[in-house]
Structure 1
């Protein structure tokens, strides 16, 4: 199998597999919204927000160093010294996460009373929060590691166990032991499969290589990853902190409705997170080979495809809300539009940010995300009391637009040239805003919105084939390969 074929197969594997996993979650959403009140759903999502924060502190974003470490330390099979190779480095980082977890558990129990007042959680929930956060950090390390060599099957195995286990355990707890405290049933249901998966991951890394050379490895890895910590925290602010603000400034029920709208955005997130597992390693390879023309060509197709998909999700989002949610959640159709539009610009940021990661200029990642987080908090603080919780969705959209612009210009400065098509980026950015406006204006006229979605898909494919001719050529190539077998 050629390298390009392997990349394409991995991209399809990640995307299709993730959609199957997301399909499991989507099947469960109508069940959750009928078993959980908007208040319970809001409390559960606040717990997930806290997990997003402590995930960064427990793992110190050490997974972000893996791609660069893979090429810095190499493998034993590539003549690396045993004990100083990439696998040993990865195991050392897993041990580091475990040490951090123990330290945080001790610290949290010392200050348990203060944390209970601040977070509104009891001692059991606080300890579960730390262990769950550590589990998610370990799972992220595993996913990053297997993604480097396009091993999507291993990724899907762990992710599938986590997704299916979460649904089964959560539903069982909601209808049995926690029928009177259902948000707690959701918290435990989400935590247990992740913890079990994390135990498997620890054995996986340690079996592959012992965590040797700990000090030297971590000295480099922590210096590389540390600037990503404020970036990770700021990402939580951008993605989830608005839910805490809505709880404090509006109500926990409003947080439940707002959080439900993010289920629509997750359709988009699954796609670009899946493709990023392939895009990032491929981008690194092209950068090392200095194939800048190829980067510009493929990134344009990548952006165009995500624009088509994002536009389609926005245009049909009202119907998705009606299908997934119980009647109390239907008002989320207004929030879903800016949330998904913001998600498109969140994807767009990952394209130029790859330049910063490649050149190990992670301090710019931290600066950009921290600035964006501050802007987001200020916008929420000003407009949520005036407009209501929907203001948080529009604040996130504005913030992500600024966020992308910052990284686009920084990437150009670092590289010394623009690796990406300004024309494609500008056209798709304006297009997604226009689509959002049209959807809001025609929110109760389904047939027009669906017709526009179909028209955009057809026109975009025709444009791509006329400009690049990539999609059809790849399909023909795959069909010919199958015939020749």
Structure 2
């Protein structure tokens, strides 16, 4: 129970860190879609997507090693300084090279847009590195506060630039750039990361060790990018920039489910890494999978029921076509959440290569199906390809993980719940008043029934 209590506490704290940026995305959606044209919003989305592509290439995902290696050297200030300094030297050096290339390659863009894009990338990558370092130092509250600054800052600056100063695309980029800069500086100063940077402690041998751990995460990140965002480029290239805006809007509501999993997974990676050597690790992981499965299923059931209302609240402008994609994308997000849980165990046992290979396979499936069907099915091709890719990744990870540690599953329970969720998605797709009412009732019922034991346990857990 001590491990579960710690996991729940960390999930609550880190949850705020994940919640605020995601909340900002939802609050920003009507602000952006009401002010920007479809073309400008589509371009804005592609620029943000481009940053997510360049990031793992430039850093070799070394920030993922920051968290995992710092966990093993708690209370050893000298080793922490050596590790953090080594990571900073590498990230700053590679960022300068990468940003120079990006600035030159995007020569056809306006100089203002290019400068803002490069500034956003730099502040974003340093913020990401800082957050992983802070997590590794177990300063989770500082992590949450920095995320609040980033999310809240985006909303404030978007309103200021788009409505106060009547800016358009450039103003939107300036808003997210300034918000990320504020978040970066908070962690650097309040988290006192600067006290760990001693330039003379750069260690090339340690750098090689860190890169040996992190480099398999590069194909994983690129493959995730292919699954998450290559759809946007395929859609833009074949169906047009306006169609990409529609698909981007459709993705927002299902991504709430991913928000819940991301929140849990950050705390889960910490707990899984600490518990990996325990005698009952297999039983603990099996128990936590059942807990996660029921939480995610319950949340998804409620979200499906609430989709018509959420769509009316968060989507402004001419985006009605996006609604029909949402139920399909929900199923994709569901299998992504399960895959991420197993990915956390792979990270704990330092088998990052398995994470990378499974994601690459899923990415190939996603891109292939998308390219084959996009001209025939339109936006449905992107949604369907995502569902199939995440499902395949999920099944392969289950198979591979069984080679390292045995996880027990209640297959009957899993199958019944998935059938119920699929039925709810079909009713959501139909979008009739009768089905929508039934979906709300069934969603609340499923959520309560699946998580009744957890709700009771919450009253018994004491945080120390």
Cα offset, 1:328, TM superposition: 0.6
1:433 is matched with 422
Report the secondary structure of 2:263's partner residue: helix
1:187 is matched with 173
Deviation string 1:96-147 (CA, Å, 9 cap, x unpaired) is 11111111133334xx2x5445xxx334433433332232222222323333
Cα offset, 1:86, TM superposition: 3.1
Matched, 1:264 2:253: yes
Change (3 A) 1:97 1:421: farther
Matched, 1:52 2:46: no
Change (3 A) 1:71 1:21: closer
Change (3 A) 1:428 1:94: farther
2:230 is matched with 241
Report the secondary structure of 1:476's partner residue: coil
Deviation string 1:30-81 (CA, Å, 9 cap, x unpaired) is 2222112222211110111101101112222112213431254x13x3xx4x
**Which residue of the other structure, out of 83, 86, 98, is the alignment partner of 1:92?**
86
Matched-pair contact (CA < 8 Å) for 1:60–1:229: yes
1:7 is matched with 7
Cα offset, 1:25, TM superposition: 4.1
2:314 is matched with 324
Q: What are the equivalent positions in structure 2 for 1:137-286 lying under 5 Å apart?
A: 137-148=125-136, 150-177=138-165, 179=167, 182-202=168-188, 204-211=192-199, 212-286=201-275
Output the CA distance in 1 between the equivalents of 2:177 and 2:385.
30
Report the secondary structure of 2:403's partner residue: helix
Output the CA distance in 2 between the equivalents of 1:382 and 1:459.
41
Output the CA distance in 2 between the equivalents of 1:197 and 1:408.
37
Deviation string 1:171-213 (CA, Å, 9 cap, x unpaired) is 222135553xx22221221122213433444554231342514
Matched, 1:359 2:359: no
**Which residue of the other structure, out of 277, 299, 311, is the alignment partner of 1:309?**
299
Q: What are the equivalent positions in structure 2 for 1:360-379 lying under 5 Å apart?
A: 360-379=350-369
Change (3 A) 1:323 1:276: same
**Which residue of the other structure, out of 434, 450, 454, is the alignment partner of 1:460?**
450
Cα offset, 1:22, TM superposition: 3.9
Deviation string 1:357-411 (CA, Å, 9 cap, x unpaired) is 2232222222211221121111111111111123211211111111111111111
Q: What is the Cα-based RMSD across aligned positions, in Å?
A: 2.5
TM-score (norm 2): 0.91
Cα offset, 1:279, TM superposition: 1.1
Matched-pair contact (CA < 8 Å) for 1:54–1:130: no
**Which residue of the other structure, out of 80, 102, 105, is the alignment partner of 2:99?**
105
Q: Which moved more, 1:154-163 or 1:282-291?
A: 282-291
Where does structure 1 lack aligned partners over 5 or more consecutive residues? none
Output the CA distance in 2 between the equivalents of 1:430 and 1:62.
40
Q: Which moved more, 1:5-14 or 1:49-58?
A: 5-14
Change (3 A) 1:9 1:108: closer
TM-score (norm 1): 0.87
Matched-pair contact (CA < 8 Å) for 2:301–2:444: no
Output the CA distance in 2 between the equivalents of 1:46 and 1:345.
25
Matched-pair contact (CA < 8 Å) for 2:18–2:262: no
Count the aligned residue pairs: 459
Where does structure 2 lack aligned partners over 5 or more consecutive residues? none
